[in-house]
Structure 1
């Protein structure tokens, strides 16, 4: 199956809540353990849009299969049909187009998709899945991202994303202990929206 590339001039058709829920449901029912949920997908697409490598210049085959954990030999699996696969791709492309529009031109309306849990009278925000998705996008252009992580200003902005979305086997035990505390994870998660907007040039 041929993969469409991202076209930043395509129609701006943001997904409604029902479509986001349907996309999450389709991805969650795939047999691949590496398929993203809607939070990871939102972070992944945001990372692609902020990448030093323009997304529009990348072939769809370079980044779309990551969404569902990669293709199998027949080019259809893990989907049950080519129609289902095309539906997912079209929804993903519409969502990345909407994110691009918001991050570029309507930053006050952009809001990442994070998990939120009730804790008594308070909400605890958990951006871990979102950050895992973002870091998967980083991995696709690791050498280009490295200079940003090494930059004092941009590195500080990326730090909470890397902490929440990094490989646990490579993390400092002190950082892992911090992430095990819901209140500390909440505090880190709440830093991310402003950091992303700053990385997008709105800081």
Structure 2
């Protein structure tokens, strides 16, 4: 049976805008040996599938520095402490990145993006009856374009490799499981 490791100590190695790096010193319950592990502490994230009354998904394209490419994904971002609730963050990110607002925000599910070294969760939401209401309000580090994609095209876009963002794919899987795919 796998047992939890005993944390002996921690030290912070860096504090950046979107995460902190922590080194943990822990003892193996199996061998008793001590090892060092690195953890990225980050606020929880949200992503949101904005579904329009016409059955389209509002998708975004943006340059991602990790893969040095423009990706096709759904709106999302960090849960701000001031929001108090990830659903509030989901609605805020949708509005900021696309200018759309939704009649209803529904929680679909949550995942741990990479529990090997991240300590956060990503919460996926469906934004029903999403409608464009204003221009996006991008921050200085964002360069985003949005477009509407028919919901029926999403599976083919994932299969073809046009959508590669794992958290976007997880959100669409949760949507499939929910049975909520039809617009209101």
TM-score interval for Structure 1 and Structure 2 normalised by the shorter chain? under 0.3
Which structure has the larger Rg? Answer: 2
TM-score (ref. length: structure 2) = 0.26
Higher relative contact order (CA 8 A, sep 6+): 1
The structure that is strand-richer by fraction is 2
TM-score (ref. length: structure 1) = 0.24
